[in-house]
Structure 1
Amino acid sequence: MQTLARIPFFKDTSDIDLTAFDRRCTWKRYDQNEIVVDFEDRSSDVYFILSGDVRVLIRTAAGKEVILAEMKAGQFFGEMSAIDTVARSANVTALTRSELCIMPAAVFRELLFSSRSICEKVLRLLTGRIRESNARLTEYSVFDLKHRLYAELLRISAPRTGHDGQRIVSPPPFHHVLAARIGCRREQITRELSALDNEHLVEKSRGGLVLLKPKVLEARLAEAMRNEG
C-alpha cells in the first residue's frame, strides 16, 4: 500500500494524521543510472527513498563534479529546494533500481508547520548535514590528499562484525568513486591505497575494504590537525 506510514522518517509520528497527506504524494520507480533530479532543476519536491540507492553530486564553481553522498532506503533529499525554492544545487542519480515517494514542497512545508515531531526531526537532520559539510570543508582546507582519504574512509566505513577494533567499507569502493568524493584523480587513490596496504593498515576482503587499524588513521588526522594549528 502506498502510504507515508511505510516511510521510516515518519515512524512514531503521532501528532498528525498522515493518511490525509497520502493522496497528495506520488510514488515512482527509477531504473539504475536514471537521473532523479539534475543541476538547476526548478522542481522543489522532496524525495523519500523507499528502496534502492542514489548518489548525490554537487558541482564546483569550476564545473567539477564531486560526490557529496550516497543515500539509501530510509533517507530523503530535496528538502532545501522545498524550503527556499532555489533551483537544485545537486544532481541525484539512481545507483540501483529504486522506489521513491515524491512529496510536493507545499505538502512538505504543511507537514513541518503542522507536526512538532516532524519539524524537530527535519531540524536535527539539517543540523547534522551542516555539521558534516563543515567537517568536509575543514578537511579540504587543512588536509592534503592522503589525509582527506583517511577521513573519507573513516566516514564511510562501519564497525566490522566479529573483528574488534576494525572497520569495513562494504561493498568495496571503486577508486574513481573515492576520487570523486575527495576531489582528486583515480590514480592518486590507487597509489595511496597501495601505500596503506603496504603498511598493513588496509586489506581487501570478499566483503569490502577493511580498515585494519582505524585508530592509526584517526591519530594521523589528529596530528595533521595539530600541525596545521
Structure 2
Amino acid sequence: MYEERSYRGIMGSDLRRMTVIDEESDLDIQYSGELEGIEQELSELRKLLKSHIQMEPEFLTSLAPIAEKDDEEKVVSHMKRVSEKAGVGPMAAVAGAVAEYLADLHPECGDLIIENGGDLYVRSSRDIRVLIYAGDSVLSGRIALEVRSCDTPLGICTSSGTVGHSLSFGKADAVVIVAKDTLLADAVATATANRISAEEDIQGALDFASGIDGVIGAVAVIGPRIGFWGDIKVVPVRP
C-alpha cells in the first residue's frame, strides 16, 4: 500500500527530482546531471536481499545481531556488521543500505540525495539544511541540521516511536543519527530511539550513541525536549 510521505517537499532545492517505488521501497531522489537505471538497480538490490532471506530467514526477523558468513554478498555482511555495533537486528539498516548502495552506483552525480523512509544519503556540492520532522512534537519542522558540503557524503537517518510503521521500542518523536556510513546511521538511530520512553531518557540515549565508533552526531526529540551531541550544528527554522 502506498503511503504519502508528508515530510517530503520541505527541503528547498533546485536539483532535479524523481520518485522510485518498488514494493516497500519508496525513494525520493534529488540529483544533478543524469541519473539512469536506478529503477532496475533498486529491483536487483531488493531481489538480492530477498534471496538471502530465503537462505537465512532470521536475517528478516531477528531483533538481535547475526554473525557474518564468509560467502555473503557485500551488502548483507555490511548490514550485519553495523547491526552488531548497534546491538539490533540487521534489517534495522535496510533503508540506509538501499540508499547508500544505490548512491555508490552513481558517482557521476555530483549532487545526490536519496531519501528512503526518513533515512538520507547526502552527497552535496553546496551547504544544505536537513529539516527534522518529529511528528506531533512542537519542535517538528522547527529545527534543522546544517550540513557542510565538505563533510559529505553523509548518512543522516531518523527513527521514531511515534511516526511511521517501523518497529521501535521507544517513544521518541525523532532520533537523528549522523555518520559517514549510512547503514550505521540507520542501525544506531533505531537502537538509540529504543532507549527513549520519556524526556529523562534523552541523555542516556545520547551517551549510548556517542559511544559507537563512526557516529558523528545525534539528535533526540521527545515532546518539547531536545538533546544533541557531536560534531553537528542544529539550527532553528522559521515556521
Same fold (TM over 0.5): no
* Alignment TM-score, normalising by the size of structure 1: 0.26
Which one has the largest radius of gyration? 1
Q: Which has the higher contact order (CA 8 A, sep 6+)?
A: 1
* Alignment TM-score, normalising by the size of structure 2: 0.25
Determine which structure has the larger helix proportion and give its number. 1
